[in-house]
């Protein structure tokens, strides 16, 4: 009986020792991981296009962690409202990468709440930088409500990641209005990639500059292979109409002229007069192609094809959905393939 009692106590002591050892192991491991995370640069991104650029720039580079604010179900970015969880994440962030140009309507609130947060504004970098000669000429003019109110100093693009990584944008003038969906023109998107890379290297004094530069070279080389072959001839100087302002940049990227715009989203109420005027513009300008987003433009698309000779092409804007890796290239190739198929 005594032996059984001693054996029980011994087993109990061994069990307590094992549990304490395991607990200590995980406690130390957790603390080490927390310390490692504290050394990381937390990069928040505002939307899918700049998120995709950022993860490709930082692929395999130590010292950074990337998190996207917008979710796959996000609607119009202009109307996106930050959640409590978003603000909590931003309080821990070192860098916020934004598209800019009025796309993120909440940006002033973020700046007011976190004045020390570094913000990489890609639109501003492209618009005001000397790194890309005349690049601001190809930023389609916005409505007054989205105009920049303040001028700011441009990011120093030259001397870091060479601006020669992108092709010069061929001269092409547009009178139609649009806003800051600059990623829809892959040439401007390449400029966004470079501006993000430069900003990230500024944010991290212990950066792996060579690794980031190599990633940018790889990604921009992949972007050069986006397949628009034949479109520059098929639609060059042709008149098109659009049902989403983002597609003004799609038209620009293939040399087409936008002659009619009806910007549709989940909250847009369209009058009968607007519809009539839009259909008249399609007929009067001999429009053969209309670019639309299916979720918001399918009903109007059916009406257009019923009452005019134009064909409606449904394209993606990269705002809604869950994207990763080289999905930017996949989506743009799909968009251009859809246009080719209709042609």
**Tens digit of pLDDT for each residue in 120-133?**
999 988 877 554 44
* H or E segment to which residue 299 belongs: helix 294-307
- Per-residue confidence (pLDDT) for residue 78, from 0 to 100: 66
**Tens digit of pLDDT for each residue in 151-195?**
333 334 444 444 444 444 333 333 333 368 999 999 999 999 999
- Per-residue confidence (pLDDT) for residue 178, from 0 to 100: 37
Residues 6+ apart with CB under 8 A from 333: 226, 227
- Per-residue confidence (pLDDT) for residue 170, from 0 to 100: 33
* pLDDT tops 90 at residue 4: no
Whole-angstrom Cα distance, residue 42 to residue 328? 22
Whole-angstrom Cα distance, residue 110 to residue 282? 42
Cβ atoms 91, 114 nearer than 8 A = yes
- Per-residue confidence (pLDDT) for residue 70, from 0 to 100: 75
**Tens digit of pLDDT for each residue in 238-281?**
999 999 999 999 999 999 999 999 988 766 788 899 999 999 99
Cβ atoms 125, 157 nearer than 8 A = yes
- Per-residue confidence (pLDDT) for residue 79, from 0 to 100: 66
The answer to which of 64-78, 94-108, 225-239 has the lowest mean pLDDT is 64-78
Whole-angstrom Cα distance, residue 312 to residue 241? 9
pLDDT band at 18 (very low <50, low <70, confident <90, very high): low
Whole-angstrom Cα distance, residue 241 to residue 128? 29
Residues 6+ apart with CB under 8 A from 168: 133
Section 23-52 average pLDDT: 69
Q: Domain-by-domain residue ranges, the chain?
A: 41-224, 231-342
Whole-angstrom Cα distance, residue 103 to residue 332? 20
Whole-angstrom Cα distance, residue 135 to residue 128? 9
* pLDDT tops 60 at residue 65: yes
Q: How far apart are the first and last CA of the chain?
A: 93
pLDDT band at 71 (very low <50, low <70, confident <90, very high): confident
Q: Which homologous superfamily is 41-224 in?
A: Nitrogenase molybdenum iron protein domain (3.40.50.1980)
Helix (H, G, I), strand (E, B) or coil at 73: coil
Say whether domain 231-342 belongs to CATH 3.40.50.1980. yes
The answer to which of 145-154, 261-270, 290-299 has the lowest mean pLDDT is 145-154
Tell me whether domains 41-224 and 231-342 share a fold.
Answer: yes
Closest by Cα among 252, 275, 249 to 262? 275
* pLDDT tops 70 at residue 219: yes
Question: What is the crossing angle of helices 209-223 and 186-203, to 10°?
Answer: 170
3, 5, 16, 22 from 10: Cα distances, Å: 10, 9, 10, 18
Closest by Cα among 108, 120, 77 to 246? 77
């Amino acid at each position: 009986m005594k032996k059984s009692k001693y054996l029980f106590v011994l087993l109990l002591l061994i069990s307590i020792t094992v549990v304490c050892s395991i607990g200590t192991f995980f406690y130390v491991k957790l603390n080490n991981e927390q310390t490692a995370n504290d050394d990381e640069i937390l990069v928040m991104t505002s939307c899918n296009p700049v998120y995709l650029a950022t993860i490709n720039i930082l692929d395999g580079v130590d010292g950074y962690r990337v998190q996207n604010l917008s979710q796959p179900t996000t609607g119009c970015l202009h109307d996106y409202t930050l959640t409590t969880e978003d603000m909590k994440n931003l309080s821990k962030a070192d860098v916020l990468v934004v598209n800019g140009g009025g796309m993120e309507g909440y940006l002033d609130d973020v700046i007011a709440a976190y004045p020390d947060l570094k913000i990489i504004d890609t639109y501003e970098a492209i618009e005001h930088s000397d790194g890309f000669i005349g690049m601001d000429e190809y930023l389609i003019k916005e409505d007054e409500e989205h105009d920049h109110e303040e001028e700011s100093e441009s990011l120093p693009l030259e001397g870091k990641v060479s601006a020669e990584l992108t092709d010069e944008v061929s001269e092409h003038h547009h009178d139609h209005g649009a806003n800051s969906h600059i990623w829809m023109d892959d040439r401007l998107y390449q400029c966004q990639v470079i501006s993000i890379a430069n900003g990230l290297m500024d944010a991290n004094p212990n950066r792996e500059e060579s690794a980031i530069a190599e990633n940018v070279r790889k990604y921009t080389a992949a972007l050069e292979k986006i397949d628009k072959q034949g479109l520059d001839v098929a639609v060059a100087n042709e008149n098109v109409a659009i049902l989403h302002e983002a597609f003004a940049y799609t038209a620009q990227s293939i040399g087409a002229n936008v002659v009619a715009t009806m910007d549709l989203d989940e909250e847009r109420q369209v009058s009968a007069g607007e519809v009539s005027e839009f259909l008249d513009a399609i007929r009067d300008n001999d429009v053969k192609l209309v670019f639309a987003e299916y979720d918001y433009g399918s009903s109007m698309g059916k009406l257009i094809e019923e009452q005019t000779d134009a064909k409606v092409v449904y394209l993606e804007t990269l705002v809604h959905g869950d994207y990763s890796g080289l999905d930017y290239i996949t989506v743009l190739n799909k968009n251009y393939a859809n246009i080719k198929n209709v042609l």
